[in-house]
A = this chain, B = another copy of it.
Amino acid sequence: MSRAPAVILDAPQMGENIGAVARVMANFGLEDLRLVNPRDGWPQERAWAAASGAHWPLNAAPVHASVAEAIGDLQLVFAATARPRELALPVLTPRQAAAELAKAAASGIATGLLFGGERAGLETADIALCQAVVTIPIDPKFRSLNLAQAVAINAYEWRLTQDEQAPPAFRPGAPPASHEALMGLYEHLERELEAGGFFHPPEKTASMVQNLRAALGRAAFTDQEVRTLRGVVTALARGRGKVLEKLARREKGDEA
């Protein structure tokens, strides 16, 4: 059996729902639960009460300050959300997503499923950190799906892939880089773009950043590629800094 996907709950509101998520994770053999900013703090008694004995995912659940931090060590993360909104990310059914995750996990890749809070769902900036969106085929007449149910459907589909023994073939060669490494690349690029006056008009910065991250994220860069791309950013921006420095020194007159 491959390592099951981590389940990341972003800003969950109700302790009962966190417990219900733990329970259904246990039903389908998942155990790596991670929380981002639970509304009512952590730990919460009501979560344990609602878990019907599935305490181990709760006992081990870390609390993170951001989605980026929570998925730092993961290499392939899908966001469970009804609407892909403006991001150009692949949209998968739970079945397709489970197949992708299983293939990846069978190759030793650390995977995760990201779920939004009960009311607000996920922020676009966090969806943009993921490699694809998983959309449950819900009746458009009644879209209000309970958080634990959304986890259940995806966990169930994951489990089916494990009963069928997926072949290990995510892709040839090196695995995708961790999200931490990706974030390093994104932030490096964005700093240099900021310096280069790319973000114009300034109020569009957030959406420009999101679109860039989503576009680049689709490539699922390896560690080596992330390093190369950081070199690319440095090489493109480099001359600028050096020449500016030289100019500054010259203006101050302290050059021979």
Interface residues of A (CB under 8 A from B): 20, 23-24, 26-29, 52-54, 84, 88-91, 93-96, 135-139, 141-146, 148-149, 152-153, 156, 159-160, 163, 167-174, 189, 192-193, 195-198, 208, 211-212, 215-222, 225, 228-229, 231-233, 235-240, 243-244, 246-247, 250
Contacts and interface: CB of A to CB of B under 8 A. Distances in A.
Contacts of A172: 84, 88, 91
The copy count of this chain in the complex is 2
Contacts of A215: 219, 221-222, 225, 228-229
Given A156-B136, A212-B228, A168 B91 contact: yes
Contact of A174 (B88, B193, B243): B88
B144 A159 contact: no
Contacts of A221: 215
A232 B194 CA distance: 10
A97 to B, nearest CB: 11
A100 to B, nearest CB: 12
Given A173-B88, A220-B218, A27 B149 contact: yes
Contacts of A144: 23, 27, 52-54
A238 B142 contact: no
A236 B196 contact: yes
